[in-house]
Chain A
Amino acid sequence: MKNMDVSAIKDGSVIDHIDSKSTLKVAEILNIQQEEQVVLVGMNLISKCLGKKGIIKIGGKSIAQKEVNKIALIAPNASVNIIKDYEVVQKFKVKVPDVLEGIVKCFNPNCVSNHYAVHAKQHVINKNPIKLKCHYCERIMNAKDIILI
Chain B
Amino acid sequence: MANFIQRDIISIRDFDKDGLLYLLDLAKRMEQTDHTGLLKGKVLASLYFEPSTRTRLSFESAMKRLGGMVIGFAESGITSAVKGESLADSVKIIEGYCDIIVLRHYLEGAAQLAADVVDIPVINAGDGANQHPTQTFLDMYTIQKTKGTLEGLKVGFLGDLKYGRTVHSLAYALAYFDAEMYFISPPNLRMPMDCIEELNNRKVKCYENETLLDIAEELDVIYCTRIQGERFADPVEFEKVRGTYRLSKSFIESLGVKEDLKILHPLPRVDEMDETLDGTDFAVYFQQARNGIPVRKALLAAVLGAVE
Residues of A within 8 A of B (CB): 106, 108, 110-113, 115-118, 134-140
Contact status B108-A116, CB under 8 Å: no
Question: Knowing that A118-B88, A118-B113 are A-B contacts, what are 19 other residue pairs whose CB atoms are under 8 Å apart, sorted by A's residue number?
Answer: A108-B108, A111-B107, A111-B109, A112-B87, A112-B105, A112-B110, A112-B127, A113-B109, A115-B107, A116-B86, A116-B87, A134-B109, A136-B108, A137-B109, A137-B127, A137-B130, A138-B13, A138-B130, A139-B108
Is B11 in contact with chain A by the CB < 8 A criterion? yes
B224-257 interface bits toward A, Cβ cutoff 8 Å, 1 = contact, 0 = none: 0000000000000000000000000000000000
Q: Which residue of A lies closest to B89 (CB)?
A: A116
- Give the Cβ gap from B165 to chain A, nearest Cβ, in Å: 10
Contact status B194-A137, CB under 8 Å: no
Q: Which residue of B lies closest to A116 (CB)?
A: B86
A interface, by DSSP: helix, strand, loop or mixed?
loop
Q: Which residue of B lies closest to A136 (CB)?
A: B109
- Give the Cβ gap from A113 to chain B, nearest Cβ, in Å: 6
Question: How many chain B residues have a CB neighbour from A under 8 Å?
Answer: 19
Is B131 in contact with chain A by the CB < 8 A criterion? yes
Query: 6 smallest A-B Cβ distances: which pairs?
Result: A136-B109, A137-B108, A137-B109, A112-B109, A112-B107, A112-B110
Contacts of A136 in B (CB 8 A): 108-110, 112-113
Contact status A138-B86, CB under 8 Å: no
A113 to B127: give the CA distance in the assembly, Å: 13
Contact status A112-B86, CB under 8 Å: no
- Give the Cβ gap from A126 to chain B, nearest Cβ, in Å: 11
Is B215 in contact with chain A by the CB < 8 A criterion? no
A108 to B127: give the CA distance in the assembly, Å: 13
Contact status B113-A110, CB under 8 Å: no
Q: Which residue of B lies closest to A113 (CB)?
A: B109
